[in-house]
């Protein structure tokens, strides 16, 4: 039975006259037209359905991952220079011991490779990760009220080159960039777009007010018909098609959830071409043929605005994103072949990075408050029927890497490429694309909202997984290096999961070029932000509380835990650049690195259960962070890998 027929037969019969309440904030057509101009381009030729088109004059082909694409290289020349002004402005309110950073930037701006290259990474973890990551990006955004005052870090986002997301983090990245680099503050505000209305889950559909004009029955009918149309066009479909379409209604400020918006359209927007904001990256894992779960050595794929592919030696190639869905053979579309456009639907891309539906479905029966009974029945029937056909992943068919790199690729003989949740290999922070030597990133601000412990707090598991992968120097690591990372017990016993910790401060201790990683673990400053990965609804107050809490995490309570913390952030940003130019770091950086850099100490004893109280609710909310104090923090249970 078709998806639309299944939903129509069950859903409409169970919903006589059920229409969601009209929203309070409807907008006129002129405003909607203006929004369309601001968003990424709705450039799919036929809505959600991939469609045959005339191939370009040069047949699409797979390129080697030996270096960055010409598109990225050209864009970087523009973007890196565009970061100079916001970086100088950032250091106007972030003082590093009185050092004149602006003059340093001016002195070395003629050689842009000497200027700090900054990246931001947001972990997986469902809506918990999306909202925590949102608080981090809000803190780094100079557009936020008071964000550029003392104790704040506004402007770091504008100074960055890359922003990467995985699973729930990819929803955040998608929502910001498909909405044309909108701000988190705007995504929280109804009048700015009617997005992030999370009071209704994806199992219920959006309110009918504002830009979405569907009642629940029409919403499910819309999802189902889109997926059916793709199937009727000859493409395999999976749970991810339904999931991605549903997510898009919450993430994108467009009618029908931006049904005709593609990820490759980001590269065609003028602001992105002009380098006015960072490059978005979405990370996924592969599932090798015959495997049920992704392993630590799974091939990691990325979506960037131009391409889909992997730096890993198994594939070591990238396909032109705009032409996914075309029949590539041995690295190119045959001269007599047909090209396809519209396969890289923006909802499908972020859904591909978060394919944990097989686990989410098990939660539905025990969480009846999340969805209505009729929707639960529909979705269970739908997902169980798909799962029985082993389609609990994102299916990319035709496989763009069919016949490509057959000596090493496990996918070269597979007509379908199976893509799964980006955190299934344990690397729940999307660091992989940011530690590639060709991208020459100096510092990564890595927000971790993983649920590693029984109480849904992180314990460094993701960093451990990335470090362990980097040790496989003759195989999957493929020339990438990563700072040394202690075990999860040490993270807890030394309190490394309770405050920012810097890894890789001393580059001479790393085999190969690697960035400093500023690890920012989710921690309760003003609210318990450790919600379940499977919590599918958030009222506005809870959404906003989590965002505010994460803002406090990355600024250390706007400097109330440590008045020098913003200076220490500045030291982390400047460190690699100062090394390249032979410049001595200001004296304050010595104290910063003593306080925040992991010094190699370990304590692998089993910790006790970890359930921290809200820090800012205590009378001692302004205490100074020091290692001796942090070592007494209560401990945490160890998870085998990050529960995304």
3-state SS record for 245-312: HHHHHHHCCCHHHCCCCEHHHHHHCHHHHCCCCCEEEEEEEECCCCCCCCCCCCCEEEECCCEEEECC
d(CA 46, CA 407): 37
pTM of the full predicted structure?
Answer: 0.89
Q: Which residue has the higher pLDDT, 629 or 193?
A: 193
**Closest-CA residue to 505 (of 438, 563, 426, 590):** 590
Pairing of strands 51-53, 307-310: unpaired
Residue 38 reports pLDDT greater than 60? no
Contact criterion met (CB below 8 Å) for 165 and 127 = no
| CA pseudo-torsion sign 316, 321, 325, 327 | negative
Question: What's the pLDDT score for residue 32?
Answer: 38
Query: What b-and-e string marks burial along 111-128, b requiring 16 or more CB atoms within 10 Å of the CB?
Result: eeebbbbbbbbbbbbbbb
Alpha helices (H) in 471-506, listed in sequence order: 488-493
Structure tokens, 139: 């803190």
Confidence band, pLDDT 50/70/90 cuts, at residue 382: low
Lowest-pLDDT choice from 24-33, 414-423, 579-588: 24-33
Instruction: Dig out the tokens for 174 from the structure.
Output: 């998608």
Please state, in angstroms and rounded to a whole number, the distance separating the CA atoms of residues 318 and 73: 14
User: Which tokens in the block code for residue 614?
Assistant: 């809200």
Lowest mean pLDDT among 357-361, 497-501, 638-642: 638-642
**Has residue 345 got a pLDDT over 90?**
yes
Q: Which of 338, 345, 326 is nearest to 398 (CA)?
A: 326
Q: Give the per-residue pLDDT at 220.
A: 80
Tokens of 269: 């927007």
422: left (phi over 0), alpha (psi -120 to 50) or beta: alpha
- Mean local confidence (pLDDT), 559-581: 97
Q: What phi and psi values does residue 282 have, to the nearest 5 degrees?
A: -120, 130
Average pLDDT of every residue of the chain: 85
Lowest mean pLDDT, pick from 161-170, 323-332, 516-525, 632-641: 632-641
Q: How far apart are the first and last CA of the chain?
A: 32
495: left (phi over 0), alpha (psi -120 to 50) or beta: left
Which pLDDT band holds residue 293 (cuts at 50, 70, 90)?
low
- Tell me which of 351-360, 556-565, 596-605 is least confident: 351-360
Higher-scoring residue by pLDDT: 623, 91: 91
What is the torsion angle, in degrees rounded to the nearest 10, for the CA atoms of residue 166, residue 169, residue 172 and residue 176? -50
Neighbours of 98 (CB within 10 A): 9
Q: How far apart are CA 372 and CA 6, in angstroms?
A: 17
Q: What is the pLDDT of residue 367?
A: 46
In this predicted structure, the answer to whether residue 528 has a pLDDT above a threshold of 70 is: yes
Give the per-residue pLDDT at 498. 96
Residue 208: the pLDDT is 62
Neighbours of 258 (CB within 10 A): 26
Please, where are the H alpha helices in 471-564?
488-493, 540-555
Residue 90's pLDDT is: 98
Distance CA 206, CA 81 (A): 41
**Whole-number Å distance between alpha carbons of 161 and 124:** 21
- Tokens encoding 107: 């002195």
Kind and range of the H or E element at 487? Answer: none
pLDDT category of residue 292 using cuts at 50, 70 and 90 = low
What is d(CA 145, CA 77) in angstroms, rounded to the nearest whole number? 30
Q: Calculate mean pLDDT across residues 614-632.
A: 43
pLDDT tens, 348-363? Answer: 999 999 886 545 544 4
CA dist 364 → 207, 277, 393 (Å): 21, 39, 19
For 401, the token pair is 């890497």
| Cβ(284)–Cβ(300) below 8 Å | yes
Q: How confident is the model at residue 30 (pLDDT cuts 50, 70, 90)?
A: very low
Flag whether pLDDT at 338 surpasses 70.
yes
Q: Is the pLDDT of residue 392 over 70?
A: no
570, 96 contact by CB (below 8 A): yes
Look at residue 42 and tell me whether its pLDDT is greater than 50.
yes
Which token pair is 165? 């997301």
Residue percentage of the chain with pLDDT more than 70: 81
The DSSP string of 385-453 is HHHTTT--SEEESS-TTTTSSTTT-TTTT-SSEEEE-TTTTS--S--GGGS-GGG---EEEEEE--B-S
**Residue 503: which of 637, 399, 641, 596 has the closest Cα?**
596
pLDDT > 60? residue 366:
no
The Cα–Cα gap between 583 and 611 comes to 43
- 103: burial class by Cβ within 10 Å (0-12, 13-18, 19+)? exposed
What pLDDT band is residue 619 in, cutting at 50, 70 and 90? very low
Q: What is the pLDDT of residues 235-283, one digit of tens each?
A: 998 888 988 998 999 999 888 899 999 999 999 999 999 999 999 999 9
State the burial class of residue 367 (Cβ atoms within 10 Å of its Cβ: 0-12, 13-18, 19+): middle
Degrees to nearest 5, angle at CA 154 with 572 and 152: 75
């Amino acid at each position: 039975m078709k998806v639309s027929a299944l939903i129509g037969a069950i859903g409409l019969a169970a919903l006589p006259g059920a229409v969601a309440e009209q929203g309070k904030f409807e907008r006129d057509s002129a405003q909607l037209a203006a929004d369309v101009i601001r968003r990424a381009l709705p450039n799919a030729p036929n809505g959600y359905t991939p469609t045959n088109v005339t191939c370009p004059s040069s047949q699409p082909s797979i390129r080697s991952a030996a270096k960055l694409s010409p598109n990225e290289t050209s864009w970087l020349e523009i973007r890196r220079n565009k970061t100079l002004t916001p970086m100088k402005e950032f250091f106007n309110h972030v003082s590093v011991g009185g050092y004149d950073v602006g003059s340093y930037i001016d002195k070395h701006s003629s050689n842009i490779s000497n200027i700090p290259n900054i990246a931001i990474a947001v972990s997986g973890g469902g809506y918990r990760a999306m909202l925590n990551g949102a608080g981090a990006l809000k803190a780094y955004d100079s557009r936020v009220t008071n964000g550029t005052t003392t104790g704040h870090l506004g402007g770091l986002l504008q100074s960055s080159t890359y922003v990467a997301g995985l699973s729930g983090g990819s929803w955040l990245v998608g929502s910001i960039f498909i909405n044309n680099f909108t701000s988190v503050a705007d995504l929280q505000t109804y009048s700015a777009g009617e997005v992030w209305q999370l009071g209704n889950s994806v199992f219920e559909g959006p309110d009918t007010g504002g830009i979405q004009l569907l009642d629940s029955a029409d919403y499910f009918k819309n999802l189902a018909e889109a997926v059916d149309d793709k199937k009727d066009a000859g493409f395999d479909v999976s749970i991810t098609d339904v999931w991605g379409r549903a997510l898009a209604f919450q993430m994108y400020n467009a009618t029908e959830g931006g049904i005709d918006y593609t990820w490759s359209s980001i590269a065609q927007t003028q602001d992105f071409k002009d380098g006015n904001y960072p490059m978005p990256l979405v990370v996924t894992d592969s599932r090798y043929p015959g495997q049920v779960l992704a392993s630590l050595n799974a091939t990691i794929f990325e979506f960037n605005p131009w391409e889909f592919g992997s730096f890993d030696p198994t594939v070591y190639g990238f396909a032109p994103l705009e032409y996914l869905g075309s029949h590539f053979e041995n690295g190119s579309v045959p001269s007599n072949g047909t090209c396809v456009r519209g396969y890289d639907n923006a909802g499908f891309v972020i859904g591909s990075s978060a394919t944990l539906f097989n686990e989410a479905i098990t939660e539905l029966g025990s969480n009846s408050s999340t969805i209505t009974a009729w929707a639960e029945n529909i979705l269970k029937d739908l997902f169980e029927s798909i799962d029985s056909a082993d389609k609990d992943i994102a299916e990319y068919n035709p496989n763009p890497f069919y016949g490509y790199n057959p000596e090493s690729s496990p996918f070269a003989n597979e007509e379908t490429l199976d893509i799964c949740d980006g955190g299934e290999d344990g690397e729940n922070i999307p660091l992989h694309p940011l530690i590639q030597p060709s991208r020459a990133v100096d510092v990564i601000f890595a927000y971790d909202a993983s649920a590693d412990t029984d109480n849904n707090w992180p314990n460094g598991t993701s960093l451990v997984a990335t470090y362990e992968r980097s040790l496989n120097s003759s195989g999957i690591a493929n020339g990438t290096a990563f700072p040394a990372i202690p075990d999860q017990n040490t993270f807890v016993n030394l309190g490394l999961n309770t405050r920012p910790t810097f890894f890789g401060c001393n580059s001479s201790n790393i085999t190969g070029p690697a960035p400093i990683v500023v690890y920012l673990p989710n921690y309760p400053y003003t609210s318990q932000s450790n919600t379940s990965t499977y919590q599918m609804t958030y009222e506005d107050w809870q959404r906003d509380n989590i965002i505010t809490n994460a803002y406090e995490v990355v600024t250390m309570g706007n400097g109330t835990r440590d008045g020098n913390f913003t200076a220490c952030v500045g030291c982390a940003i400047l460190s690699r650049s100062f090394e390249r130019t032979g410049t001595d770091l200001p004296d304050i950086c010595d104290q910063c690195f003593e306080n925040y850099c992991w010094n190699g100490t370990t304590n692998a004893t089993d910790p006790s259960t970890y359930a921290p109280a809200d820090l800012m609710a205590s009378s001692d909310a302004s205490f100074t962070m020091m290692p001796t104090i942090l070592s007494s923090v209560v401990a945490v249970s160890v998870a085998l890998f990050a529960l995304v």
